[in-house]
Structure 1
Amino acid sequence: MRVLMLNYEFPPLGGGGGVAAKKLAEGFIKLGYQVDYVTTGFNDLKNYEDVDGINVYRVSVIGRKELSTATIPSMISFPFLAYTKACELCKINQYSFINTHFAIPTGPLGIWISRKFNLQNILSIYGGDIYDPSKSYSPHKKWYLKKVVKWVLSNSRYVVAESSNIKDNALKHYNIEKDINIIPLAYEPVIFGKINRESLGLDRNIFYTISIGRLVKRKGFEFLIKAIKNTPDNVHALVIGEGPEKDNLVNLAKELNISDRIHFLGFVSEIEKFQYLQNSDVYVLSSVHEGFGIVLQEAMQVGLPIISTDNGGQVDFIKEGKNGYLVRFGDVEALASMINKFEQDDQLKVNFSEYNKEEVKKFEDKRICKEYLGILG
């Protein structure tokens, strides 16, 4: 049994979509499948390597400049430049099915290969590939992108949305007659060595919020920074990630005179990320829109309560008053109030923590992969 996965992202390149696809690949491997994964090449990353049992093939694209974010030329060129490698693999291997990730830019590639080699194709859509309200060039706003996405959704044999919100947006904006399956992101707990705050340079007397993600407009980090301004001085924010908005966010913290309370940690290793999570008090997701939010699963693993904006897939599993709270994006006062609520009530954090540790088990990778296989019949 063998599966061909197509995705322009794969860690360390890209964001949550690459991480989610990798976890899905690991789940297929646990179920006895061999996984070949075609993705984007970059700088010194190897053209081929075995990563945790996944056969990763990287192809050169045009104009990729950063690990964290793709350029328009790199996305446009990926399906065309990856086509040859995908065909080569299909000629020497017998695949049970193809799993394509992102309607654009990868979607067309999945359709071309599935048709050429008569293979069933499952398209996984993530949110930003069909709808991103923070971007002027969101696919649903540009007629030419909208046309491509509609063609991809209509011509992919099966479509999986990671949340009800993504399914709703696909049906609403692309007017397709399609049965879209809802299957959440696979998640396998990360094993890491627990350390104390002092080892990370953190103060045991400070209340730390933590947020992880690319520093881009859609993530709404300015919302978080403005909220921290309206909390007591002992409340600090840890921000893990890099991106084009960093200078603007640093300057905003300076303007608000809270630079000493906003800690930009940049990229950290996977182990360090979980050590920071484990030593924080509450997770804050401030995004304008989030397809699902793999970072929330990571927060749940360590038992962090969650404060999140209410637009996106996170509404499927954030249970108000049980494992977190939802606030409207841009409502600085409401976000600050929720942060203060946890800062003032230690027992609340304990109650939410136990719930999240149990809830995250529902996303176990083998369980999610079985749902994918169930689609094929």
Structure 2
Amino acid sequence: MKKLKIGYVLSYFHPFKDGTENNCLYLATQMVKLGHEVHVFTSDRRDEQVLEEKEGIINGIHIHRSKTWWRYKYYLEMNPGVIRSILKYDLDVLHIHSFGFMMYDIAFILKRLRGDKTTIINTPHGPFMSLDSYPWWQKALKEIFTVIEMPINWMYDGVIQVNTEQWKWITKSGVSQNRIHFVPDGIPQERFRKIDNKEFIKKHNLQGKLVLCNLGRVLKYKGQDDIIKALPDIVKKYPNVVFLSMGKDHGLLEECLRLAKELKVEDHVRFLGMVSEDEKLQGLDATDIFILSSEWEAFGIVTLEAMARKKSVICTDCEGSLYLVKPENGLLYHYGDVEGLKKAILELMRNTKLRKNMEKENYKKAIELTNESIARNYLEPLYYKLQRK
């Protein structure tokens, strides 16, 4: 089979790091290793950080960054340069990440209008504006944009669901079910490597502690405050318990620290902020129970990373967790249900045998979901299957 010229489109890309950005970087890197020519079309800034280098190559990936003139929140951005950049290249596959970005929709429509044979695919990751906690006017805008998006989404050659629950809302976004394909998220093989964490444990005073760990940005929908609310009763039974949070503050840290002090568990929390990959693995290795406390996650890459480090997991019953977590490898609770979370933590702390069995099951599941395997066994075959004649 001929090698493909593939373009990925997303709002942020390396060195910016979050779930979508990391997922695209890892899979694009694997496509390069499989011999394909890979381009990424993205913006040149995030928040206050502006990248001076607009064109470059990372891991063999050709990066094209366009100036963002204006942005509001996540979806509303004005960077018309990305349209010109996309149209400049004769691509076999254009793989867009996320529904609802006006600039990407325009590029998509223009490619169709000029008769390009490019196969155009979307991985929405989650519904447009996926949370429930929006003010009324944002909910109204969401409804309007959803209606506008439906005929655009209908034109995709394929739409990827990253878990087996997403077809339920993807079909409501204008996509016929026969165009929905399953490609799970994954983690790099290096997440399984051995690493010494003695200094990490000493530095953060984790010797002899029962460690509850959460990975991710510290903000409201990630639910770190719920873990703190569960701590007082747990500390009474297990005085050596510690909650370890690794992730950049996005506005909730001050509230979490205030709450910990108010509940008199401030000595049982460690907020480390943004950590390196080495520190992340060291922290996970020091962990007894991993907790995903988010209101919503498309997949929960951090859960999979914890599984790769042979950890038992407790997760909210968001759609990503419904795919990753079954009774044999973890416990589920509903977002915001602090009593349910507390019950799950205490169950795993009491039942060491159950916890150890979960650790073994999680490691087996993680081995099957490496980026190398997903690129080779899921994504590349899908690209070839959907090629336009």
Mark yes or no: TM-score above 0.5: yes
Deviations 1:166-217 (A, max 9, x none): 2212224x35434322221132232553322434423221111111112222
Instruction: Report how far residue 348 of structure 1 moved.
Output: 2.9
Matches within 5 A, 1:1-377: 1-13=4-16, 15-42=18-45, 43-45=49-51, 46-63=53-70, 71-72=72-73, 75-78=76-79, 80-88=80-88, 90=89, 94-105=90-101, 107-108=104-105, 111-112=108-109, 114-115=111-112, 116=114, 117-129=116-128, 131-136=130-135, 142-172=142-172, 174=173, 176-179=175-178, 180-191=180-191, 193-196=195-198, 197-232=200-235, 233-241=239-247, 242-320=249-327, 322-369=328-375, 370-375=377-382, 376-377=384-385
Instruction: Report how far residue 354 of structure 1 moved.
Output: 1.7
Q: Retained in 1: the 8 A contact 2:42–2:82?
A: yes
Instruction: Report how far residue 17 of structure 1 moved.
Output: 1.1
Instruction: Report how far residue 128 of structure 1 moved.
Output: 4.8
- Unpaired segments of 5 or more residues in structure 2? none
- Letter of the 2:196 partner, please give it: K
CA gap of 1:300–1:350, structure 2 versus 1, over 3 A, is: same
Deviations 1:226-268 (A, max 9, x none): 1122212322111122212222222222222222222111111
Instruction: Report how far residue 39 of structure 1 moved.
Output: 1.4
Q: Retained in 1: the 8 A contact 2:213–2:290?
A: yes
Q: Retained in 2: the 8 A contact 1:305–1:323?
A: yes
Of structures 1 and 2, the larger Rg is shown by 2
Bigger drift between 130-139 and 158-167 goes to 130-139
Bigger drift between 287-296 and 184-193 goes to 184-193
Deviations 1:76-124 (A, max 9, x none): 214x331122223x0xxx4221111111226515523642433111101
Query: Structure 1 vs Structure 2: percent identity of aligned residues?
Result: 23
- Letter of the 1:77 partner, please give it: M
Instruction: Report how far residue 152 of structure 1 moved.
Output: 3.4
Q: When the two structures are superposed, what TM-score results if normalisation uses the length of structure 1? A: 0.88
Instruction: Report how far residue 362 of structure 1 moved.
Output: 1.9
Cα distance in 2 for partners of 1:20, 1:139 equals 28
Cα distance in 2 for partners of 1:133, 1:257 equals 31
Q: Retained in 2: the 8 A contact 1:62–1:74?
A: no
Cα distance in 2 for partners of 1:22, 1:350 equals 33
CA gap of 1:274–1:63, structure 2 versus 1, over 3 A, is: farther
- What is aligned with 1:67? none
Cα distance in 1 for partners of 2:140, 2:209 equals 43
Over the aligned positions, Cα root-mean-square deviation in angstroms equals 2.4
SS at match of 1:164: coil
- Letter of the 2:124 partner, please give it: I
Instruction: Report how far residue 44 of structure 1 moved.
Output: 4.9
Q: How many residues align?
A: 364
